[in-house]
Amino acid sequence: MESDRFAGQFAAADVLCTTCRFVPPSFERATAFGVYKDELRTLVHLLKYERVRAAAKPLGKMLARAIDMLELTGDVAMIAVPLYPTKERQRGYNQAMLLADAAARLTGRTNVRLRAAHGLLRRVRDTESQFALSSKGRRTNLRGAFAVPDASAISGRTVLLIDDIYTTGATARECARVLVRAGAAKVFVATLARAQTERVERWDAGFETAKLEVSGNGLAQTGRIAT
């Protein structure tokens, strides 16, 4: 994961977590503003479960900081992870979309143009709640849940995928896989929060000499994040 605390300490290309080393995801890099706990968790719950839409602005500012760490340039299609239509109607909105749109207005980078393109990825199958599922169960649960309705609209484009929380990475992996299969040139992932332990693996001289770095209470950085 990217972070202010770890930014610049490791070369992104040299840092891989264990899971991504064994099963590389389709996305290039992923970033999150902070750990899903304390005040950040409270704010996310206000937006996601208590329908406090005003929370999207301060959270969007945090998400914008995470997006800025990806150092994107040029035209980028910004896509929020979609909800199944029934769930979105029940909630009244897609919280990832609110966060994405707020962050796009607050990003500090001037050499990137984030263009909202939420309709380019759809959730076509309702899925079981991911909460109680194992990592393998989450991946199985999401298989076939997303689709790109018009591949020509995504072909050759750089995509920034936005979600509120990165838990095991199953959702980000599946969305990225579908987007790349539809022709996306590259997919990056930015989330507001992450629910992972702060461990990264750094390669100094190849597979045999990998050593594990464990962070403190700040945010950890990796070139790719675990699922």
Strands (DSSP E) contained in the chain are 15-16, 30-35, 74-80, 112-116, 122-123, 146-147, 158-166, 186-194, 199-202, 211-214
Q: Which residues contact 3 (CB under 8 A, 6 or more apart)?
A: 69, 218, 219, 220, 221
User: How far apart (Å, rounded) are the C-alpha atoms in residues 194 and 71?
Assistant: 19
Domain-embedded: residue 226: no
Task: List, in order, residues 6 or more apart from 204 with CB less than 8 Å away.
Answer: 14, 210, 211
Q: How far apart are the first and last CA of the chain?
A: 12
Structural domain for 88, as ranges: 12-214
Q: Would residue 224 count as lying in a domain?
A: no
Question: Does the residue 2 lie in any domain?
Answer: no
Q: Which of 159, 165, 176 is nearest to 36 (CA)?
A: 165
Residue at 6 is within a domain: no
Look at residue 113 in the predicted model and tell me its pLDDT.
Answer: 94
Burial of residue 190 (CB within 10 Å: 0-12, 13-18, 19+) is: buried
Per-residue pLDDT, 130: 54
- Round to whole Å and give the CA distance between 112 and 69: 12
Residue-level pLDDT at 161:
98
Q: Are 141 and 128 in contact (CB under 8 A)?
A: yes
Residue 81 located in a structural domain? yes
Q: At which residue do the structure tokens 């050759």 appear? A: 156
What is the pLDDT, as a whole number, of residue 144? 80
**Tally of domains in the chain:** 1
Within 10 Å of residue 14's Cβ, how many Cβ atoms? 12
Residue 129 lies in a domain: yes
- Is the residue at 222 inside a domain? no
Mean pLDDT by runs of 10 across the 227 residues of the chain is 39 56 82 93 94 95 95 96 94 96 90 95 78 58 86 97 92 94 97 70 32 31 37
Instruction: Please check whether residue 221 lies inside any domain of the structure.
Output: no
Strand partners, 166: 194
pLDDT at residue 201 in the model: 35
CATH number of 53's domain: 3.40.50
